[in-house]
Amino acid sequence: MTDTDFVRDLVPELLADYQDAKGYAADVPTQSLLHIRALAHRLTRRLAADRVSFTSPNLYERIEQLNQQRLIDVPTARALHKLRGHGNRGAHPEKYHLTKSQLQTLAQKAIRDCLSLLEHLYYKWHRKPAPTYEFEQAAALSAKELCYRAVMQDDAEARYLVGMSLKAKALMELEQEQAQALDEEDRAPQSHSAATFSQAAYWFELAAPAHHGALFEHGVALLHGYRGQAEPAAGEALIAEAAGYRLPAAQALLGYFYLVGGHSISADELQAEKYLTQAAEAGNSEAMSNLGVLWYQRGELDKAFGWISRAARSGFANAQYHLALMLAQGEGCDADTAASEHWLAEAAEHGQLDAMLERARHMLNDEQAFGSDLSEAENYLRQVIRFGHSVPAMLELSIALADGMLGRIDVVGAAALLKLARSLADDEQLAVIRPLWASLLEQIQRVTPLSQDPGEQKSLRRAQELLSED
């Protein structure tokens, strides 16, 4: 018996997604992870059987509904949430700062996690261990095969998938290029993302007449200028057309345009509510979050809290951060410091840069913050600096290194961060940097004559050079 036989025999309706997840894992890992999330959706329907009617298409809420009605045990709920998290990372790899190799590793892990869950369910259903099976390596559904179907067979779905794979690659390349810009001040970092975005746009345009998802992505490509010159009016028109086909992602983006105003779309609160509600009720977590923002702007904090809570539970990192802020302030809810810290930690874990900065501050400065880990605080700050070019994060890390808050004193690192922060700071931030600069320079000048260690003396001299440079 192979793993495929095991899945087919236990839950036949999961087989297609399972096989696709295995097939795409090597070459198109984002698509593999999306199939894992689809598999988890199908599995919740099987677990519900005829015993419960789901109140939402949202996967998080379905898992919680099954859990609350005691239709699944705690290990099953945790395993389903883990698969949901894997799928979220596949949908938005750039938001989690993942490289392609990390996505490939994650896709393979997700497949193993899926099998572990099914083994657990086999025991629950049959009261005996799952049969022994051999894990069979699947023939890769490679990008080359997709391209063959896209070019030779005019397959709109294949064209769309090629475009999505290229878009994910381009977003990751762009993030890496932006991060490298901090390390390569004297020369422009090598750019690959522009060409990859252009390739993605080509496939979306080809697939758009026969594929609603590609129609939406074609609109996004025009909006952001994937092929060079942005065409925002044309992009918004295509996104509106895709929303007319009730595509949740298109409804969510169109609702956002009506919320804040677009290039050719005027802000319209009622239209924003209409489209955001449609997308939110279809399970789009970003729409849930923006619908919460709409109600917040209207001053109806209870409704705002409800929608932002739903988005946060779905795994949307921005909503998790905003939920933490609302819980801290008691907006639309009773103030709850512990719950606020929980959601702040969740948002930071999911790569939300504001949350990572705030979480690091809590870890460094608040002895009552749970899970304080100095190495994790440093890691958060370095990621915020790398991916967000954040001056506040540079200042936090510089102070921590100079004062020994991370268990070591690193004056060279502290000085380098201050210098970098000064080069990026606005006037308000410069006013904060000047006294820090003077204080660190004074500290170095005071300690240098007292030091007897050659290595320490070398570091102190280098730090002083950095702070003395114009």
- Residue (of 100, 238, 110) closest to 171 by Cα position: 100
What are 50-73's pLDDT values in tens digits? 888 998 888 988 999 999 999 999
Domain boundary among 74, 106, 138: 138
Number of neighbours of residue 215 by Cβ within 10 angstroms? 23
Residues 6 or more apart from 291 whose CB is under 8 A from it? 255, 273, 276, 277, 280, 307
- Give just the sign of the alpha carbon dihedral 65, 66, 71, 75: negative
pLDDT of residue 186: 47
| DSSP three-state, residue 135 | coil
What is the value of pTM for the model shown? 0.84
Here the tokens at position 220 are: 């996004």
Residues 6 or more apart from 412 whose CB is under 8 A from it? 459, 462, 463, 466
Please state the separation of Cα 320 from the chain's center in Å: 12
∠ CA 179-185-188, nearest 5°, is 75
Q: Specify the CATH number for the domain of residue 52.
A: 1.20.120
Specify if 336 maps to a domain.
Answer: no
Domain boundary among 104, 120, 138: 138
Specify if 11 maps to a domain.
Answer: yes
Dihedral angle, C-alpha 300, 302, 303, 309, nearest 10 °: 140
Separation between Cα atoms, residue 69 and residue 429, nearest integer Å: 52
Number of neighbours of residue 144 by Cβ within 10 angstroms? 9
- Residue (of 31, 33, 65) closest to 47 by Cα position: 65
Specify if 184 maps to a domain.
Answer: no
| DSSP three-state, residue 134 | strand
| Residue 227 near residue 180, CB atoms below 8 Å | no
Residues lower than pLDDT 50 in the chain: 186-187, 371
pLDDT of residue 48: 94
Q: How many domains does the chain have?
A: 2
Parent domain of 99 = 1-138
Specify if 306 maps to a domain.
Answer: no
Tell me how far CA of residue 357 lies from CA of 87, 318, 380, 394, 396, in angstroms. Answer: 25, 13, 7, 10, 9
pLDDT of residue 184: 55
- Residue (of 340, 302, 303) closest to 321 by Cα position: 340
Separation between Cα atoms, residue 190 and residue 184, nearest integer Å: 10
pLDDT of residue 367: 66
- Give just the sign of the alpha carbon dihedral 286, 291, 292, 297: positive
Instruction: Find where tokens 């997840």 sit.
Output: 21
Specify if 385 maps to a domain.
Answer: yes
pLDDT of residue 98: 80
Domain boundary among 107, 138, 169: 138
| Residue 36 near residue 106, CB atoms below 8 Å | no
Specify if 116 maps to a domain.
Answer: yes
Specify if 262 maps to a domain.
Answer: no
Specify if 110 maps to a domain.
Answer: yes
Separation between Cα atoms, residue 276 and residue 262, nearest integer Å: 15
Residue 134's DSSP bridge partners are 2
